Structure 1
């Protein structure tokens, strides 16, 4: 009976750790896949918070334009996320408040 109690206590303490390790491993794999799929033209954010556009991509390094004419060379592991590139032409918001009859 004591052995079952000890096993249950161990299970209660070990189960959250195992679940956290699995989720962390899954997240790490997703980040590695994202980093390996970065291509020139992608807009990225680095772990230090710099935003820029990828100019050139090798296996381990990227050249990122962070301002017009300013290109930095970074390790691929330094990329935190890839953001969607916004289109340069956006439709103006339509204000139809004047068109409604009162």
Structure 2
């Protein structure tokens, strides 16, 4: 089970990072989820914890591309998506209902 080994390695790497920077981690992120900051420059920014399965959807891929265009591929810290918070919630709801 190659993918299980990779999943365990990723979880262990996250635990090492979380342990090294406790002041950076607000809450524990459940396994299989990614913390994301969502918000536009002039609006409110909100933290979401998103299931990694949702990133397979083309709508999420488009949002990640938008973030890469604005912030670059080598962002430091939490992943940031430049999107209206309400719009992001609607996208997550639609994706969750279709899966």
TM-score (norm 1): 0.28
Comparing both structures, which one devotes a greater share of its residues to helix? 2
Q: Which has the higher contact order (CA 8 A, sep 6+)?
A: 2
TM-score when normalising by structure 2: 0.29
- The structure with the largest alpha-carbon Rg is 1
